[in-house]
Structure 1
Amino acid sequence: MSGGGLLRLARASAWHRRFGLGLVLASIALATFLLLAVERGRVALREGFTQSISGTDLIVGARTGSVQLLLYSVFHLGSPTNTIRWRSVQALAADPAVAWVVPISLGDSHRGFPVVGTTPDYFRHVRHGEQRALELASGRAFAGLHEAVLGAEVAERLQAGLGQALVLRHGAGEIEGEDHADQPVRVVGVLARTGTPVDRAVHVSLETLEAMHAGGLLGYRLPGRPAAPARALTAEDLQPRAVTAALVGLKSRSAVFGMQRRIADFRDEPLLAVLPGVALDELWTAVAGVERALVAMGALVAAVSLAGLVAVVATGLDARRQELAVLRSVGAGPPQVLALLLLEGALVTAAGALLGLLAAQLGLWAFGPLLESRLGLSLPLRAPAAAELGWLAAVLLAGTLASLLPGWRAYRLALADGLSPGGSA
């Protein structure tokens, strides 16, 4: 029997048993879809974390772990162990290798969202994605005291718009600390969605935070202490004493390691400068087990689907014994019977894998823009990457190998029928 005839016979046989094999094909498609979704999601998540701060060369803060500094300064997770003095920030900005410095002050919140104290340079220099600048969906950046710019998610979830007054709270939680009810801030701008931690923050000026905590203008009351007498705040009162961290951009990327050493040797106070990419690599090393667990889950689903293929083909062999005997009678030998079963398994697996790939591509086309706007996961519609092609090849190979067991049994049945008195030689 020729190869073309064997292929036509395998297709016809599979179509004859299309209901059972269709269920197996659907399960293989689902397993392939899950494997591709995990792989693309893993890559997109890594890229999304990296692109949350794509335009910054160094993050400078108090001496602590590099991952911890990255998490609280960029992603607003956890609590800073210490602050850095304002004169240290000024010394950084005066370094000839530095192009810009954006200070970050954390510690307050509004209804669970972090408050980020910074300068107007934040909106000019902070980048996300592929070096994209922050954009305002409405309003303007803050320019004076008690003005706030909201991230897109804050504005959406709190239904807050331009002109609305917000009361900030000292502390990072919903009920932690006392609020600044005597000094509300007014929303003057709302940022366009970025899919980064910027969306989940309330941005105010450093001077606004100093005014709230200075015990001046309207008499801010510290916990357990009476309110300070109200007085007019001076420029010196509004100048920050310390900030949580600073984002630094350099004039030349080649100077990054030299600048990092100079910051580590800073004499006025102990400082730490980390490269965002290096800190992210450390973070991914720490969570590598989660990635492996997700991939293992997808592989397990694929294994179960292929086990179903083995079960369907194997249980149907007794019913197909007459079919195999007919094949023997027209001259098909046991090796060709084995090849027929392997080819059937490969065809079903290939069809399932292609269907899963098609479903993944359609899913990206339909939901990719939504995932990017909501979660910041960039999932463009593109051809499968090398890793994804590797998974597809692995599924196809595993499906073909899974057909060996029923194929070997069919081979033995063909031999037995061929040697029996009533069988065909």
Structure 2
Amino acid sequence: MMGVTVLFSVAAKSLRYRLSGVILTTIAVALSVFVLLGVEHVRQESRSSFASTVSGVDLIVGARTGDINLLLLSIFRIGGASANVSWESVEAINEHPQVDWVVPLSLGDSHRGYRVVGTTEGFFDRYHYGRKQPITFDTGSRFSETADVVLGAAVAKSLGYGIGDSLILSHGVADTSFVHHDQVPFTVVGLLSPTGTPVDNALFVSLEAIDAMHADEETAQEHGHDEHESHDEHDAHDEHGEHDAHDEHDEHDAHDEHGEHDGHDHSGPLGSVSAVLVGLDGPFATLQVQRWINEFEDEALLGILPGVTLTQLWDIMARIEDTLRGIAILVFISSLFGLNAMLLASMRERRQEIGILRSIGAPSLFILGMLVVESLLIVIVGIVLAIGCLIVAIGAVNGFLMSEVGISFSYQILYSSSLIALTLIVLVSVILSLLPAWQAYRLSTSPGASSSQ
């Protein structure tokens, strides 16, 4: 044990004499290990976070765009809807004999960069995450009035809102919006408990609230347009006052009839929604209902299975992961060759050092072991440095991920695959260091090595 301690002590002191080269080599090793561990951590955490974002949802229905686009929009609030699902189609899906429940989602509005989700009260009962964990309220309750809003945990924490606070929603999903729905102020009635999913990153209102915001906006625009037309007609047709009054009366009657017709067409809270979460009576009905939705005659719809679509997403991401992993391996191999080149180049300069060690009784195997330990120390320091930098990077990126996607990465960075990779890194570094170590061994056994001073 004492011999091992002395070996590491001598190797560490020897490295300090070549500090500049050792630092550069250590940084190269740390960089490659950082990329290797980072890629694996992102792969593990993203799959775990995405897979646990929603559970208990059998199908997601939207306009016929793309599987991955629909998943990212409806669950992760990424992207925008190029087309919507009519309320008549939502009702038709709900009336299917094998459908247990539906939860419509209306997206397209925001508040200070956070997405607004228009939905029904059933969302809080049907939406689960992780291992079928339900959504719970930290304080307050779900919305019951048109002007009520429920906040995700991250929204409430970031913006400092509490129960009873008022806020105005905006049109669009940009961080800065110039179109505000200030005609419908909302009151915070509930704060959700943290879930670690995009739910934390959203505001929830009723579908009736979404309808009220846009209906009032359209009414205001139409009112301004009608006033402009009325003014123009008055200037042009003053001499036909009675005729204009009669026409105005007819137009008013036509408008009333049109209003009744609109009310009949939009029997639901909205004319259309962005997506629909669907729960079925049993797992055996999934493919049958999906085929029925995809072949729906009244509207071009798309039904996707969340788990299958996630697998498609991972297949695409796997190519990027493999590319980054390959780059990291190449950087690591080049850094190891640089380490060996540094040790080999120092052999001529270290003849005197080896001679001194031999003169004080150090055996040749001690010299061989010292070179191996030097290489091992550089790699271990590089690994420790990489792990420290990765932990700092996780803390720095988590805020961005939470605000943009609604997920965060844990600080558990050592998985079984990561430990295997680190073990292989250490073994490869030891094997490659045997060449300069063997040269040092031969140098220590050559005649006159013990007298070289």
The corresponding residue for 2:51 is: 50
Report matched runs for 1:247-396 at 5 Å. 247-292=277-322, 294-296=324-326, 298-299=328-329, 302-303=332-333, 306=336, 309-310=339-340, 313-322=343-352, 324=354, 327=358, 336=365, 339-340=368-369, 343-345=372-374, 347-348=376-377, 351-352=380-381, 355=384, 376-377=407-408, 379=410, 381=412, 384-396=414-426
Letter in 2 for 1:19: R
Distance in 2 of aligned mates of 1:223 and 1:387: 65
Alignment check: 8 A CA contact 1:107 1:170 kept: yes
Distance in 2 of aligned mates of 1:239 and 1:254: 31
Letter in 2 for 1:221: Q
Larger radius of gyration: 2
Q: How far did 1:412 drift?
A: 5.5
Letter in 2 for 1:104: L
Percent of residue pairs bearing the same amino acid type: 34
**1:413–1:364 Cα change, 3 Å:** same
CA deviations 1:270-321 (Å, max 9, x no partner) are 2111111222232233344543454356546645653564355335433432
Distance in 2 of aligned mates of 1:67 and 1:241: 25
SS for the counterpart of 1:282 is: helix
Alignment check: 8 A CA contact 1:114 1:172 kept: yes
SS for the counterpart of 1:403 is: helix
Q: How far did 1:99 drift?
A: 2.8
SS for the counterpart of 2:278 is: strand
SS for the counterpart of 2:82 is: coil
The answer to whether the aligner puts 1:141 opposite 2:163 as a matched pair is: no
The answer to whether the aligner puts 1:221 opposite 2:221 as a matched pair is: yes
SS for the counterpart of 1:141 is: coil
**1:10–1:226 Cα change, 3 Å:** farther
Distance in 2 of aligned mates of 1:21 and 1:252: 69
SS for the counterpart of 1:17 is: helix
Q: How far did 1:141 drift?
A: 0.7
The corresponding residue for 2:207 is: 206
The corresponding residue for 2:245 is: none
Alignment check: 8 A CA contact 2:358 2:450 kept: no
**1:327–1:223 Cα change, 3 Å:** farther
Distance in 1 of aligned mates of 2:209 and 2:153: 21
SS for the counterpart of 1:104 is: strand
Letter in 2 for 1:376: I
Distance in 1 of aligned mates of 2:68 and 2:209: 29
CA deviations 1:336-393 (Å, max 9, x no partner) are 58853664256426744774698599989999999998863353759x4331122112
Moved more, 167-176 or 299-308: 299-308
Structure 1 residues without counterparts, runs of 5 or longer = none
CA deviations 1:237-265 (Å, max 9, x no partner) are 66322211101123333432222222222
Moved more, 405-414 or 139-148: 405-414
Distance in 2 of aligned mates of 1:222 and 1:396: 72
Moved more, 124-133 or 27-36: 27-36
The corresponding residue for 2:100 is: 99
SS for the counterpart of 1:54 is: coil
Letter in 1 for 2:112: R
Q: How far did 1:61 drift?
A: 0.7
Q: How far did 1:105 drift?
A: 1.0
The corresponding residue for 1:245 is: 275
The corresponding residue for 2:249 is: none
Distance in 1 of aligned mates of 2:32 and 2:339: 13
**1:117–1:362 Cα change, 3 Å:** closer
Alignment check: 8 A CA contact 2:8 2:370 kept: no
Alignment check: 8 A CA contact 1:368 1:379 kept: no
Letter in 1 for 2:424: A
Distance in 1 of aligned mates of 2:348 and 2:412: 45
Report matched runs for 1:138-217 at 5 Å. 138-174=139-175, 178-215=179-216
Moved more, 90-99 or 9-18: 9-18
Letter in 1 for 2:182: A
Alignment check: 8 A CA contact 2:33 2:382 kept: yes
Alignment check: 8 A CA contact 1:211 1:237 kept: no
SS for the counterpart of 1:376 is: coil
Q: TM-score, normalised by structure 2?
A: 0.74
Q: TM-score, normalised by structure 1?
A: 0.78
The corresponding residue for 2:86 is: 85
Alignment check: 8 A CA contact 1:21 1:312 kept: no
Distance in 2 of aligned mates of 1:40 and 1:346: 26
